[in-house]
Amino acid sequence: MKRFLKKVDALMAPVSPTSAFKLGEKSSDPLQMYLADIYTASANLTGIPGLAIPSGFNKLGLPLGFQLLGPRFSEYTLFELGKLYQEAINYKPSLAIE
């Protein structure tokens, strides 16, 4: 990871192998719940910062996202990149909960 992050300011990666699932949908399957977080483990295991960013919704209206990973102590850069992305797409968070 260190080698890759010497060449770029940040890496862009998926947050999850699937889109979000409905609340409680996987509660009876702990393995599936664990696997939904598998891509975020790399930041924790390597000690680097990661920022998950909402990027839209699937056909069912469930959220999608990606993450930015940066070298140690690059939190400010990740926040700025996330802000630039959301400004570029004119992202408006939804407060509706169904």
pLDDT tens series, the chain, 98 aa:
888 899 999 999 999 988 887 877 877 888 887 788 889 999 999 999 999 999 888 888 888 899 999 999 999 999 999 999 999 998 777 665 55
Does a structural domain hold residue 94? no
Its domain, for residue 12, covers: 2-88
- State how far the Cα of 43 lies from the Cα of 4, in Å rounded to an integer: 13
User: d(Cα 85, Cα 93) in Å, to the nearest integer?
Assistant: 13
Residue 78: count of CB within 10 angstroms of its CB: 21
Q: What is the pLDDT of residue 84?
A: 96
pLDDT reported for residue 50: 97
18 within some domain:
yes
Q: Amino acid identity of 58?
A: N
How many domains, in total, are found in the chain? 1
Domain assignment of residue 73, yes or no: yes
- Residue 63: inside a domain: yes
Q: What integer pLDDT is reported at residue 81 of this predicted model?
A: 97
Residues 54 and 92: their CA atoms lie apart, in Å, by 10
pTM, whole model, 2 decimals?
Answer: 0.82
C-alpha–C-alpha distance, residues 9 and 24, integer Å: 37
